[in-house]
Amino acid sequence: MNLSELMKCYFNDLESCDDSRLVMSEGTNFINEVKEHITNRWIKVRNPERLHCRFAFSDYSSVVEFLNMVLSYQGIKGHHGKIVCDEEVVVIEVYTKDVGEITELDLSYSEDVMSIYNNLKRGNVLDV
């Protein structure tokens, strides 16, 4: 995948991208788990190896609600991602810093944050 294709995936809907080309390493069952997560909008990036996802919202109040839910979740789980907020877009990256790569903890984090996002988009009330 070249840079322009990758950026197209980043700025557009990741679900329309060829998922298999976004995983940069090969081999194990663990990578297959990461590929499964890529289809849920998370991509694997390097240096350090981490999961990355971009969330877009239609209004600022939804951004605030999402951030509050994610921050509350992180406090409960004791596992924190890097969160960058720019207007109605939130980007989250997560990896296990102690080992410098993606672990089961990060895969669980990505699933849970995706559930928070999907429930908020559907208008469901959540209790973290």
Averaged pLDDT, 27-39: 53
Contacts of 45 by beta carbon, 8 Å cutoff, 6+ apart:
24, 51, 52, 93
Q: What is the pLDDT of residues 82-95, one digit of tens each?
A: 999 999 999 999 99
Delimit the domains of the chain by residue range: 3-122
Averaged pLDDT, 42-50: 93
* The pLDDT of residue 41: 86
Instruction: Specify the higher pLDDT residue, 22 or 87.
Output: 87
pTM above 0.85, yes or no: no
Instruction: Specify the higher pLDDT residue, 35 or 92.
Output: 92
CB 102 within 8 A of CB 45: no
Q: How far apart, in whole angstroms, are the C-alpha atoms of residue 80 and residue 38?
A: 20
Task: Output the six-digit token pair for 12.
Answer: 């557009």
CATH number for the segment(s) 3-122: 3.30.1360.20
Q: How far apart, in whole angstroms, are the C-alpha atoms of residue 110 and residue 116?
A: 10
